[in-house]
Structure formats: C-alpha cells, structure tokens
Structure 1
Amino acid sequence: MQILKFHLNILALCFIQGLSCQSIVLTPTKAYADINEPLTLTCTYIGYINVGGTKWNINNQHTPYIVRQQGNICSGNGIFADGNIYRVGCPTDTSFTVTILRVQQEHLNVPWECLDRDRTSNTVNILLKVSVAKVELSGPSSSFMKEHSRQTIKCKTSPSRPQPSVSWYLYESDNSVKHKITANSSIQIHNSEDELVAVESTLQFYPNRSINNWMLNCEALTDDATSAIYSKSLALNVAYPPEKPVIIGFTDGEKYSLIESEFGNLSCSSQGGNPLANLTWNCYNSKPTSITIEDKTVFSTVTWSGFRGQSSCLCISHHSWSGTTQNTTVMIDIFCKLYILYYIR
C-alpha cells in the first residue's frame, strides 16, 4: 500500500508539472528472507506503457537476465529458466516478478537491480532474517509503586533483522485478556552491523489501585505473530492509602459516656490500603491494644480507665507508603459516682 501511494504521488506530481516522469522501482526495498523460504522481488515501471519485458542485473553482472511477456506466456532466460530455483511472473505490462523458491546462503547479501536501456532501479540486497532471541524488562527499583506517581519501565530487545516492533500489555492473570497500552511509550533504535537492530522501548506509567496485583509485560514482534517473544512479567504492587478509620458504633465526633473509674472499651477498623494501615490509639492511660486482620481490614481494640478531665479518644491510621495519616475521634463524657453517706444516731 505504501509503495502504491508512492507511485501515485509521483504520477500526480508529473501530471501537475507537465513532466515526462518515468522511473523504475524494485520492491521490497528491504528484502528479508529465511533460508529455504520463498522471496519475491517486483520490478515496476512507473510512467511507462506496454514495457513487455525487463532486464535484471544480479551481483553487478555484465549480461543481465530477461523476463519477457510474449502473448500469454511469461518466461525468463538464463538462470530464470530453471523452474526448480526461480519462478517468473508478468502481472501487468509494466510490472514483472522474480521469485526465489528457496532462498539459500549464496543468495544473501547479493545486490539486485532491474533496468531498461537508460534507467536503473534502486538496488536491493537480500538479507537473512534474524528473529528476536530475548526481551529484557527493567522495572522500578522498589517492589511498591506509589499510586499516581510516574513509573519508568524499559523493555529492550536483542538485535534482530528486520527492526522489531515492541508492544506493552496489562493483564489481570495468565488466563485473562491482555490489554494493549497505546500511549506514553517511546523507542530508541540501536543499530549494529549487517542492519541488525535492537529496540529499547520506554513506558511512562502512572499506576492506580484498580490494577493492583495485575501484571505488565512487553512483546517484541518481527514479521508475524508466530515470532513474538515476551519479556518476563512485572507484578504491579501499587501502594495506596486505606479508607478513613471507623470507630465501631460511633460517628466521627460522637459522644461516648463513661462512669468515672470504670473501664472504657472501643474498637476501630481501617479498610483497604496497600500495604494495610498501622492503627494506634490516643486515649490517655490506655493499655496496649490488640490488632487483628480480616479480609484486608485491620481491627484494633483499646481499653482505658475513665477519669475526670478526659475529653476525647482518637483512633489514628498511619500509612507510610502514601505518607497519609487519618484519624477518627469520639468525645468522652465522664459521669461522676455519687456517694451517699448514712449517719447512725
């Protein structure tokens, strides 16, 4: 499709400027092949009419080979006449093909051109495909990712040919649907000898609690889905604060009545958060609290002795990773004991 668009653009430019625009294009311009697999080269004459045949120059030889259309028969001479090695084609009167039925080592790195009397196409070298051997993923240095903070994750392929594409995926479990990430990624190209290319993709990622415990990985793809190579998976451990703590049976700021010198008992819970919250109490002469955890909810109970002057009791939630501290308060109302003295006369 891109080659066709290129051809149409040339013709449109020639028509607008009133030029005699002729060119010869050999495609694919980057010819990658596997050993023992077929490869087709197409020579197209742009701006020509009824060419009828074309000359092919292989490895800068002095005498080109010919592919010709005669009547309804398309044929080739020289080595192109060997039907066990090559197949020629004449799709139109201005395009001609040569298919190497099974690419061998001697076909690699050999330059090909097609030509007429005074024009020559671009040069195409047949290069061996090199699949991606591995994909390395490097993530954050910490196991926790703070919610909504930018995370930089990199994925680098081994050198391959042609240049591989890299895609990022999010998924909940091994058996769940993978969701492709289409934004906030960039690539760097690292070229080496023989047109081998390693690709490094950088993902700028802002995790949230909805994908906590999900997995993230990248995929490198050369030509087709069968050549896809996956990186290791990164477990997303997203740190986020819990809900505000609740003193069970009371709303924030509600009054709690207690008779002087008797023991007060309160229970507090903190739901959610990753990691779970650390609960503490501020209740005057309170005794050490008990902590229990049930289904991602932390419970803490406090016992203290009531006396005059007490005004409030606080349950405090500490969450180190998000840097948040939240508290819930009950107001303490102390009733004094009434002592009745009996005098005996």
Structure 2
Amino acid sequence: MTTDTVLDVRDLRVAFGDVEPVRGISFRLRRGERLGLVGESGSGKSLTALAIMRLARRAQLSGEVLLEGEDLLTLKPRQMEKVRGGRVAMVYQDPMSALNPVYTVGKQLEEAIRLHRRLDRRAARERAIELLDDVGVPHPQRRVEQYPHEFSGGMRQRVMIAMAMCADPTVLICDEPTTALDVTTQARIMDLLDRLVEEHHTAVVLITHDLGVAAGFCDNVQVMYGGRIVERAEAEALYRASLHPYSEALLGAAVDLNLELGVPIPTIGGSPPLAGSLPSGCSFHPRCAWAQDRCRTEVPLLREVAGRLVECHRADERAAAVKEETHVGA
C-alpha cells in the first residue's frame, strides 16, 4: 500500500447464505481522491459501501478493507463504532430516514460530535452551529433547535454532510447524495462536497446512478455490474471512450436534452441479473451486442487494457477500434 493510500479494498465479498451480491471488489483510494461508483440499481454499489462501514446486517464479509493499514473487517463492534463516523463517515441516500424525527437537528449533531470529540454540551452545541454554517444552512443558531421535518430535502442533506464531517474523516462515502433533489439543489450539494474535499483533503467515494454528477465531480470512475467492477478508468478517459460494452451502454442511455422530439430515448435492453441467479460466463452477456460463445461460458478477468482496468474478453478489440476512430478523427 502506497503512503498516500487511505483506503485499500481487497477482494471484498458480501454473501447472504449462498447468495453473493458483491463478488470480489478491489480498489485503492488516495488521500483527496474522488472515486465514483456507477451502475444500475442492483449492481452492488450501496452494499459495497455498507460492507466497508460494517453496516451490512446479517451478511458474511470476506476479503480486506484496509483503512490506513488497519483491516476494518477484523475489528470488534466496539472498536468499529469509534472508526465509523470518525475516520470513515457516510452520507446516506435518504436523509429523512437517516435522521431521527423526534430529536432536534442540534441534538443529533451534538451526539455525533461528542461521540468522537471530548467536548462538553456547550462546546458541542457551538460546534454544531459552526458545522451547519459551514455547510450553508442559513440562520444556524435558530435552525439548530428545529426538527428534521422542518428542513427541506436539500437542507436535510446538508445536515447529513455536516454530521459526516463532524470528526474530519479521512474517507467520506456518499450514497446517492443528490437523489430526489431538484437540479439547482443538486448542484449546490455537489459544490458543497467539492469545497469540503478541497478544504479538508478528504477522500470521497461517490455512489451514483447519475453519470453527469460523476463526470463533474470524480477523478476516477468504477463501473459496477452484477456485483463486480467491470471497468475502472480516469473519468475523462471513460467518458471519452469506454471499453466495456456495459459502460458504453450506460453512457449511450444518458438523456440527451438536444434529442429531437419523437426520437426514442436510448435504453439498455433487458434487466440486471439477480444476485441469486447470475448467468454463466460474463454476467452482462445476455444484454451485450458484443457477446460471443466464450462470453457465455467463461468469466472474464479484470485486467489492464489501454491504461485502464476492464473485465471483458473483447476489451483489446474495443481498444483497437477506439484507437482507430481517434486516428481517423484526427
């Protein structure tokens, strides 16, 4: 593990009995890096995050999750409680469900602060007000006394970010932080995350189905399908030319606002596989226009092709085609 690596996930597997929804995820995250996990619902993105946080209930976890060299999967529950929310924190998809409706926002922030900092109640209240102000909640001295239902969706998400940042974590995991928010609020939340990363040099794992959000925020992007990483590349390189057919299909299915009226929106045919009934060979082959006999019987390995990692038998052909297209275009 290099000196600037803060999170090193090695062959992470999550199983529920005989069903394995996450099947051997590996990646490294450097200090200050922004890594995107993208893919359709059911690809294993959120479960990967919950496994890293040791919040995947009743799941059997294997592999290694090294946070600054310490394997989180070997920690006892009491030890993990000190790590969770302290050195590694998470912003959840639905802030209304994550926040307790019967306690004020200030009370919940104070509890999180005192869990990781040796502060008395007065100092914790002052810190809670500072955090709300830092994440852009107006009138924090008044809002700290209010309940979650008195906040808008965007403001609740700001509260969740403040709570996650209360102990200055080394790694911040954001699970669909802009889901169900309007475009303007979405942009403000991403600008806030961008500022916090710059100021605190926090490493961020951004889980999203929104390729536009990932493109604007992430340094590197990992595409997940069927519980595995099928492509990892720098964000710019991936969006310029993907090498895995699933990545290409995802990008092709993005809504083009310049699309002419009456022209159908591109989609990916079929549905993602269920974790308990994965097809043989490459899990994407039933939906893949590039599939050959080998794809239906032999599981491809994640390997380096043209400066990125790709899990596809035909990645070399795709890389050669992209190179030719680029040469012709030049």
TM-score (norm 2): 0.22
Q: Name the larger-Rg structure.
A: 1
TM-score (norm 1): 0.22
